[in-house]
């Protein structure tokens, strides 16, 4: 697969979002299946894997690290060939008690152990906690880089003002924000800043939690206790129906390009910006390969322009919602 750069870190142009093996999209697969699925992604050519300390069933504190452990087991013998990205949450209490650097070092050491490695390539602050200035996190991340515990750092779900404050102190490798054909807020100010400052954009939920694949319908069951889709306004029945013209547009391109709708939605963002590296999430082996296969779907400039123009004319109903917009602390996550 072609490569792209997140700051100075080279990754396959499509990564794997691994959250669903542990949390967020209903019943999780058994561990053997998940480990094989991760490995299949690697064998296909994926070298970029996204996880977080928080990803465990129902985000319960006792399940923390479940997802990192799966990745560690799946990739330990190819560690040097892959880029591992993980994330931490920080509480005011631990920062007051231990000091910012020690608290972060402790979180990182636990992730490193679960990932069966001795460094993390890309370490994100999962959510900026308004009570912990991002500048002091940036400074501590800089020290983790000089101590060779991480290669680069990133922020997640942040506005441009926060990115600027942080980047001025310790240059960011990547920002992981929500971005897809139906969630394009990043295009206004965040993405121009990232392009200008050589920072990667790692879109999460690039297939809009499955919506853009066309496989999520008003009949899809989100009732599992650990399924974030029941909180996503965009996936309410009325919005699924109202956003149908977007799927029709994707369907037209999918037919023309002999691709799937999910692949067209990924090819669109890859064509649009050179610093974008999407991390579609699936816990299903076939869909993982389908999503990674978007690297073979190239839109011509003419096709892209026509798609973009058509997209600009379609209103988007609903947004991704509470979880990704507001949660700043673990306690917020646990409230879901
Ligand atoms: N930084 C953050 O705050 C944050 C927040 C959310 C996610 N993330 C990261 O971003 C990654 C991607 O986000 P996401 O999982 O929400 O992405 P997504 O790919 O937009 O949505 C995942 C959902 O879409 C379905 N899906 C994916 N590809 C499909 C396909 N080709 N056909 C049909 N259905 C498909 C999956 O179902 P199946 O599993 O059944 O295939 C799953 O239900 C996560 O894995 C996680 O690593 C980060």
**Which one is predicted more confidently, 46 or 327?**
46
pLDDT in the model for residue 81? 98
Catalytic residue among 55, 123, 193, 273: 55
The DSSP bridge pattern shows strands 9-12 and 3-6 to be antiparallel
For ligand 1, whether the C-beta of 282 sits within 6 Å is yes
For ligand 1, whether the C-beta of 213 sits within 6 Å is yes
The Å distance, Cα 209 to ligand 1 centre, comes to 5
pLDDT in the model for residue 335? 31
The DSSP bridge pattern shows strands 48-50 and 174-176 to be unpaired
For ligand 1, whether the C-beta of 210 sits within 6 Å is yes
Environment class of residue 288 by beta-carbon count within 10 Å: exposed (0-12), middle (13-18) or buried (19+)? buried
The Å distance, Cα 205 to ligand 1 centre, comes to 5
**Mean pLDDT score, 196-207:** 98
- The answer on pLDDT for 169 being more than 50 is yes
- Percentage, residues of the chain above pLDDT 70: 95
For ligand 1, whether the C-beta of 179 sits within 6 Å is no
- The answer on pLDDT for 320 being more than 90 is no
- The answer on pLDDT for 325 being more than 50 is no
Per-residue model confidence as pLDDT tens digits over 26-43: 999 999 999 999 999 999
Per-residue model confidence as pLDDT tens digits over 244-283: 999 999 999 999 999 999 999 999 999 999 999 999 999 9
Query: What confidence category does residue 321 fall into, taking pLDDT thresholds of 50, 70 and 90?
Result: low
Average pLDDT value over all residues in the chain: 94
Confirm whether 124 is a catalytic residue: no
Among 56, 122, 207, name the best residue to mutate to test ligand 1's pocket (greatest count of ligand atoms within 8 A of Cβ).
207
pLDDT in the model for residue 322? 47
Give the separation between CA 315 and CA 307, rounded to whole angstroms.
Answer: 14
Three-class DSSP category at 180: strand
Query: What confidence category does residue 334 fall into, taking pLDDT thresholds of 50, 70 and 90?
Result: very low
Environment class of residue 284 by beta-carbon count within 10 Å: exposed (0-12), middle (13-18) or buried (19+)? middle
**Mean pLDDT score, 100-112:** 98
Give nearest CA residue, ligand 1 atom 17: 205
For ligand 1, whether the C-beta of 49 sits within 6 Å is no
Q: Which of 265, 298, 295, 296 is nearest to 12 (CA)?
A: 295
């Amino acid at each position: 697969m072609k490569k792209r750069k997140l700051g100075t870190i080279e990754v396959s142009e499509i990564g794997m979002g691994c959250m669903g093996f542990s949390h967020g999209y209903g019943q999780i697969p058994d561990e053997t299946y998940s480990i094989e699925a991760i490995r299949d992604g690697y064998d296909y050519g994926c070298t970029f894997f996204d996880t977080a300390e928080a990803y465990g069933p129902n985000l319960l504190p006792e399940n923390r690290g479940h997802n990192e452990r799966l990745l560690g087991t799946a990739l330990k013998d190819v560690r040097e060939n892959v880029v591992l990205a993980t994330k931490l949450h920080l509480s005011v209490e631990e920062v007051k008690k231990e000091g910012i650097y020690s608290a972060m070092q402790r979180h990182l050491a636990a992730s490193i152990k679960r990932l069966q490695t001795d460094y993390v390539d890309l370490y994100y602050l999962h959510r900026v906690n308004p009570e912990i200035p991002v500048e002091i996190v940036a400074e501590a991340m800089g020290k983790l880089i000089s101590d060779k515990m991480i290669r680069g750092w990133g922020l997640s779900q942040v506005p441009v003002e926060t990115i600027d404050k942080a980047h001025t102190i310790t240059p960011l490798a990547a920002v992981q924000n929500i971005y897809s054909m139906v969630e394009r807020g990043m295009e206004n100010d965040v993405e121009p800043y990232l392009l200008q400052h050589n920072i990667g954009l790692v879109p999460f939920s690039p297939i809009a939690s499955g919506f853009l694949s066309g496989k999520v319908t008003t009949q899809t069951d989100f009732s599992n206790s650990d399924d974030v889709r029941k909180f996503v306004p965009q996936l309410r029945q009325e919005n699924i129906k109202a956003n149908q013209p977007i799927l029709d547009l994707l369907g037209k391109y999918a037919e023309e390009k002999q691709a799937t709708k999910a692949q067209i939605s990924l090819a669109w963002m890859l064509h649009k910006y050179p610093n974008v590296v999407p991390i579609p999430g699936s816990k299903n082996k076939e869909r993982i390969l389908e999503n990674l296969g978007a690297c073979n779907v190239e839109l011509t400039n003419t096709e892209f322009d026509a798609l973009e123009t058509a997209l600009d004319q379609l209103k988007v109903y609903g947004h991704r919602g509470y979880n990704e917009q507001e949660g700043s602390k673990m306690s917020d996550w646990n409230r879901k």
